[in-house]
Amino acid sequence: MASKLTKLEHVWIPEDVDFNKLGGLSAEAKGKLSDIRPASIGQASRISGVSPNDVSILLVYLGR
């Protein structure tokens, strides 16, 4: 489990991602991700209101 979390720290989110246009993300996740603008999936996964499902959607969007 720890190695998976470490790997997520190195999956970078492009600065120009429009989270509001990603289908499937919860409304709360869209708002929080847009406000906070995490640099990596690891950072995004630690944001309150961003669910594991939201993280999975981000990974699919990023082609991981």
Q: State residue 53's pLDDT score.
A: 97
Give the model confidence (pLDDT) of 8-27 as tens digits. 889 999 999 999 999 999 99
Do the beta carbons of residue 22 and residue 50 sit within 8 Å? no
Q: State residue 64's pLDDT score.
A: 75
Phi and psi of 32, rounded to 5°?
-70, -45
Mean local confidence (pLDDT), 14-43: 97
User: Residue 55: which of 21, 2, 11 has the closest Cα?
Assistant: 11
| 11-47 core/surface letters (b: 16 or more CB in 10 A; e: else) | bebeeebebeebeebeeebbebbeeeebeebbbbbeb
Class of the CATH-defined domain 2-61: mainly alpha
Phi and psi of 15, rounded to 5°?
-65, -25
